[in-house]
Amino acid sequence: MSQMPHNRAGLGIAFILIAMTAISINDMLIKQLSGGYPLHQIVFLRSSIGLSITLLIVQYEGGVSILKTRNPGLHLIRCLMVVVSNMSFFVALSILPLADATALFFVAPLFITLLSIPILGEKTGPMRMGAVVVGFIGVLIMQRFWEGSDTLGADRLVLLLPVIAALTYAFNQVFTRKLGAVTKASALAAYIQGMFIIVSLGFYVVAGDGRFAEDTSNPSLQFLLRAWTWPQDGDWIWFIALGLNSGVVGYALSQAYRMADAATVAPFEYIGLPLSVMWGWFIWAELPVWEVWVGMVLIAGAGLFVFLREQQKARAIARTEIKGRY
């Protein structure tokens, strides 16, 4: 029976901070490009460049032999979860302000805490479960059920897409922790990049000529279904930056959840909240409405409480073990 990877909390936290910074840049670049290119084209170019970088890291970490796996089914499920998560979030991102979409997505660490119980066997006490409930109350506030679609600026489905993205992302990360016992981070990242390429090519075959986009005026569906176009000269630098950044995201995320417990790493993802506000204000002059600010505080506060409670519990266990040796 394989053992879980050694828990190296410091390195896990460092990698998650690198990953979240890169993700915030990724989201900003995709939102910037969403007005002129279809999502599947952006994903294809991003992942093609990202896979090239990842394969170089694969070579460094042991060569192509590390891509072999005894768990193809679990890897496939994990990759599909990532694809659903990204597609859902990016479609929402084309409509919602960056900070709003990111804030709704940040229920993911709370989902991770819940999913770690049945999938990883990690224990969560009543105080941490209470914090999770508070975080979900924050999500409900951000959904603004008392307002109509005309004042929200988006329909209800679009507001739910980041939450769907968060749930599937959480599944991905707990599977990463499970698979990380026997799989290198570069291999985990390579599988994901390959799946993105396969799915985006599938979209191209079915809808790459834009014929389905002609029948809709919905901006989210337009982003998903519009025709592929050759990038303008000035946009190539953004696609290249997106691809390079994608390589960093895939490796750093996989490494973070390989090296440390999910409940330890997940709360540090909240650095993405102030980063999304910064990009939204700096590039699009957007600031969140008060409901989003309240939701951010509740979700981030709940996540940080879960983290601090986990650390407190770990110290108590360590003291008990030390006393038991003497």
Q: What is the pLDDT of residues 61-84, one digit of tens each?
A: 888 888 888 888 888 888 899 899
Tokens of 31: 């939102």
Supply the pLDDT for residue 162. Answer: 92
283 pLDDT more than 50: yes
Higher local confidence (pLDDT), 184 or 154: 184
* CA separation for the pair 100, 97 (Å, rounded): 5
* CA separation for the pair 306, 132 (Å, rounded): 8
Band (pLDDT 50/70/90 cuts) for residue 308 is confident
* CA separation for the pair 228, 37 (Å, rounded): 7
The answer to whether 306 and 128 have CB atoms below 8 angstroms apart is yes
What mean pLDDT value characterizes the chain?
82
Average pLDDT over residues 291-305: 86
What letter represents residue 273's amino acid?
A: L
Q: Taking Cα atoms as reference points, which of 242, 115, 251, 90 lies closest to residue 172?
A: 115
The answer to whether 116 and 263 have CB atoms below 8 angstroms apart is yes
125 pLDDT more than 60: yes
What letter represents residue 201's amino acid?
A: L
Band (pLDDT 50/70/90 cuts) for residue 3 is very low
What does the pLDDT look like over 45-65, one tens digit per residue? 988 988 988 899 899 888 888
What does the pLDDT look like over 199-208, one tens digit per residue? 999 999 998 8
* Residue matched to tokens 């224990």: 123
Supply the pLDDT for residue 322. Answer: 40
262 pLDDT more than 80: no
271 pLDDT more than 70: yes
The answer to whether 244 and 46 have CB atoms below 8 angstroms apart is no
Supply the pLDDT for residue 150. Answer: 65
The burial of 28, by beta-carbon neighbours within 10 Å (0-12 exposed, 13-18 middle, 19 or more buried), is given as buried
- CB atoms inside a 10 Å sphere around CB 291: 18
What does the pLDDT look like over 210-251, one tens digit per residue? 888 887 877 888 888 889 988 888 889 999 999 888 888 878
Band (pLDDT 50/70/90 cuts) for residue 164 is very high
Q: Taking Cα atoms as reference points, which of 218, 224, 184 lies closest to residue 202?
A: 224
Supply the pLDDT for residue 78. Answer: 86
Q: Taking Cα atoms as reference points, which of 79, 261, 84 lies closest to residue 187?
A: 79
Supply the pLDDT for residue 224. Answer: 87
- State how far the alpha carbon of 78 is from the alpha carbons of 51, 172, 181, 261, in Å: 17, 5, 15, 18
Stated pTM of the model: 0.77
